[in-house]
Structures are given as structure tokens and as C-alpha cells.
Amino acid sequence: MPQRDLEKLTRQAIQAVRETAVFLHTEVNRVQFGQVEEKHLNGLVSYVDRTAEEMLVERLHKILPEAAFITEEDTVEQGKSADLQWIIDPLDGTTNYLYGLPHYSVSVGLRAGADMLIGIVHHVPNNEMFYAWRNGGAWCNDLPIRVSQRDTLRQALVATGFPYHNFDRADSWFKALRTFIAEGRAVRRYGSAALDLAYVACGRFDIFFEYGLNSWDVAGGALLVHEAGGRVSDFSGGNTFVDNGEILACSAAVYDAALAIVEDAFVI
């Protein structure tokens, strides 16, 4: 797809995300306890997630009718074998949202085959729109962003996500976490993988690692990091991070050191 078309499509998708974000902001204090379900262990969902997803699907379909969808809430037929896919999370950080913590986002990615073409992550409470298109750089609210220039692990601020329903690799996660705590600057856990990736892209975090994720958690943010000059991989240094549930995203300067830690914990 030509660069000009990708930029135009990105800006159209941004408008769809903004319209969905208005709904999320409007409903943030209206959800009642009885309207919340637990779809799996510690996985909460409400009418807000489903309605927001329906809004996104409707708008994105209009601007690119030939694309299929991979979505968190299954409100539309899933196009897992399609060549062109919108991969969307209408509300990343649902628990934060429902508990009144202002750290949640909308995440949208467009993939063609194995290549991410567009990535959008909108921090709704802060009105920060992070976006990128392939070979077009990474941006936040129309200003270019880059990964941090901190070049040692000792300086690195690390983000992660706690295991919350898949504990099969928890011991490996604790091993990696212990090393990052001992050798890095500090560790944070905010509860939105999409925003963690956006924060790596703009230099607020230096390293993000997590397992037990889904494609919609990372599809939007992974391209942001890449286009901002960072490195993204799975825990073996491969490129299966969108689909295999694990991701490491870093500034380029600390990637090798971070990869050695997660490889030692999860792979070797």
C-alpha cells in the first residue's frame, strides 16, 4: 500500500478511535456492578467494551471494507485467516476503567500478511493519540516521538504486566522481574499493555516485557515502537510477538541486555 494511502488511512482510523473514545469517556462513571461480567479469571467485561468495539468495527469497515477483523469481544466474525486484518482492543485496561483508574486506551492495528501497516494507541483520559504507519515514523498528537536515548540497563525504567489468569510461566516471569529490579532503575506496572508500548515508543519507558497477551493487546503498540526507532521481539528474539502471547519492546540501546534477561528466564 503506498505511503500516501497509508497516512490517509491512518488519519481516518484516528477519527474512528476518537469517536469511540468519546463514548468511553462519557460512560466511565456510569457502569454499575451488576453490568460487569468475568469472562475468565480476572478478565472483566461490560457493555462499554462491547459497544465500543461495535462502534470501532462499524467505522473501520466503512473506510476499508475489504479488511477483516480480529477483536477482543467477538462482536464481529473473526477473520483470522484473512490477508488484511484490523486487530482491535476497544478498551485496553478494562479493570482500570471500571475501578476509576485513569489509565486505559483504545488500540488499533492494521496488518497485511505478517506486516503491521498501521498502529494507533489512544490514551483516553490524557487525550494522547499515539500513531504510526509503516515507514512513516511514530507520532503523538502530531508531534514526532522517539524511543529514549538512555543506553544502559542501570538507567532503564522497566514496565511489565503481572500474570493474572495464565500462571504457567509465572516462575520464569518472577525470575526476569527479579533481575530487572536488581539491575534496572525501577519497575512499573500500569495495566494497559498497549499504553506500555506507546510509552516505550515515546521514551517514557525503556523496556516492556509481558507474557499471556493477545494480538489485540500489542498490534497497535508494536508498530509504534518500531517506527520510533526501538526493537520489538518475542522472548527468543524472533518476530512472532503479535500472535504468540509474549513481547519484549525496548529502546535500541538496551535491547540486547533486556533480551539476555528474558531469554535466560523464559527460554534457556
Domain boundary among 93, 125, 143: 143
List the beta strands (DSSP E) in the chain: 36-40, 43-46, 68-71, 84-92, 105-112, 115-123, 128-133, 138-140, 143-144, 157-160, 186-188, 207-211, 231-233, 246-250
Total domains present in the chain: 2
Query: Are 224 and 166 members of one domain?
Result: yes
Residue pair 145/201 in contact by the 8 Å Cβ criterion: yes
Domain assignment of residue 170, yes or no: yes
Looking at the domain assignment, is residue 148 inside a domain?
Answer: no
Q: 136-190 pLDDT, tens per residue?
A: 999 999 999 999 999 999 999 999 998 877 788 999 999 999 999 999 999 999 9
Q: In this structure, what C-alpha cell is assigned to residue 71? A: 477483536
Could you tell me the three cell numbers for 167?
Answer: 500462571
CA–CA dist 103, 122 (Å, integer)? 10
117 and 31 part of one domain: yes
* Residue 81, burial from CB neighbour count under 10 angstroms (0-12, 13-18, 19+): exposed
- Do 102 and 209 belong to one domain? no
- 24-33, 180-189, 196-205: range with lowest mean pLDDT: 24-33
The residue among 143, 178, 198 that closes a domain is: 143
What CATH number should be reported for the domain holding residue 114?
3.30.540.10
Residues 133, 178 share a domain: no
80 falls in which pLDDT band (50, 70, 90)?
confident
Range of the structural domain that residue 167 is part of: 153-267
Q: What is the pLDDT of residue 29?
A: 80
Helix 193-201 with 215-227: angle, nearest 10 deg: 0
- Is the residue at 90 inside a domain? yes
Closest CA to 206 of 172, 252, 250, 142: 250
**Do 185 and 236 belong to one domain?**
yes
